[in-house]
Amino acid sequence: MADQDGSGGIGMDSEACLKSKDPALCETESLSEGNAASCDQASSKTDGENSASQGSAVSNGGDSDEGKEMVDLKIIWNKNKYDLKIPLDGTGANLKEKIHSLTGLPPAMQKVMYKGLLPEDKTLREIKVTNGAKIMVVGSTINDVLAVNTPKEVIQQEVKAEENKKEPLCRQKQHRKVLDKGKPDDVMPSIKGAKERLPTVPLSGMYNKSGGKVRLTFKLEQDQLWIGTKERTEKIPMGSIKNVVTEPIEGHEDYHMMAFQLGPTEASQYWVYWVPAQFVDAIKDTVLGKWQYF
């Protein structure tokens, strides 16, 4: 009776095997049960490995910004506003890449302004970018740049060729009558051989061609150059300035004379004298863009 109720340790399937007296049948049943157990164990192991693998992939995000100090910015370009969060220790070049992904504007075509032209090699922390800061971006698509770049290049080449034929600018009679007045009393300090970003205040203490006082204000958010005199202020779109001509003043090489080419001829040059040398490159970069002059 013990065999019938299983209390003797032999199950119903084993009893059937014994009654049939077929060893092959018993062996087959035993193997099937073993294989099923092995499959269950293998499946459990595989699921565990997959789970571990997924967990590893999530935790090893190499370029994740997690844990980095972030800063929220407002990007303004072409009358559109974009919200951007970026690591505070990212560089100006990193910011340009982010702007590219937002606007489609290639980094080389961007003029990014925050208290002046934003340097690419410094971090946002070094530039002292604050949370919620507004970043102004000026730039055109490649097609737009190509459309206006060709005539600018032609004009620049023609101007340079004319300059090579003549004596130094500061020796020419038309400029000597201004330079012979000497440095203005309120001229800004200069640093020979240095390169600095544009100051946040207008450049002042300079003369124009008629010998009158002139100041330059760079309205980056409007992409305009304001040329102010005692009588009036001219608001000039930077895109309309074809070239910037500069030359150190003999005997005062820490100052330059500079002309903004507003049209195709020499008569359309607006001359400014006693420009501090450290700001010359920054003025060219801001007015023309780095990709527009060589």
Contact (CB, 8 A) for 73 and 97: no
Whole-Å CA distances, 169 to 114, 244, 260, 273 = 35, 14, 14, 12
Tell me the pLDDT of the chain averaged across its residues. Answer: 77
Tally of residues, the chain: 294
Asked if 259 contacts 267 with a C-beta cutoff of 8 angstroms, the reply is no
Q: What are 86-130's pLDDT values in tens digits?
A: 999 999 999 999 998 888 888 888 889 888 888 889 999 998 999
Question: 9: Cβ–Cβ under 8 A, 6 or more apart, which residues?
Answer: none
> Residue 294: what pLDDT?
34
- Per-residue confidence band for 19, with pLDDT thresholds at 50, 70 and 90: very low
Q: Which residues pair with 245 in a beta bridge?
A: 259
d(CA 95, CA 89): 10
Residue 118 has what DSSP assignment? P
Say yes or no to pLDDT of 292 above 70: no
Mind listing the pLDDT tens digit for each residue in 149-161?
555 566 566 666 6
Mean pLDDT, to the nearest integer, of 65-85? 87
Mean pLDDT of the region 6-19: 47
Segment of 27-31, 51-55, 71-75, 104-108 carrying the highest mean pLDDT? 71-75
Give residue 143's pLDDT.
Answer: 60
DSSP letters along 199-248, please?
PSSPEEEEEETTS-EEEEEEEGGGTEEEEE-SS-EEEEEGGG--EEEEEE
pTM attached to this predicted model: 0.48
pLDDT score of 212 more than 90: yes
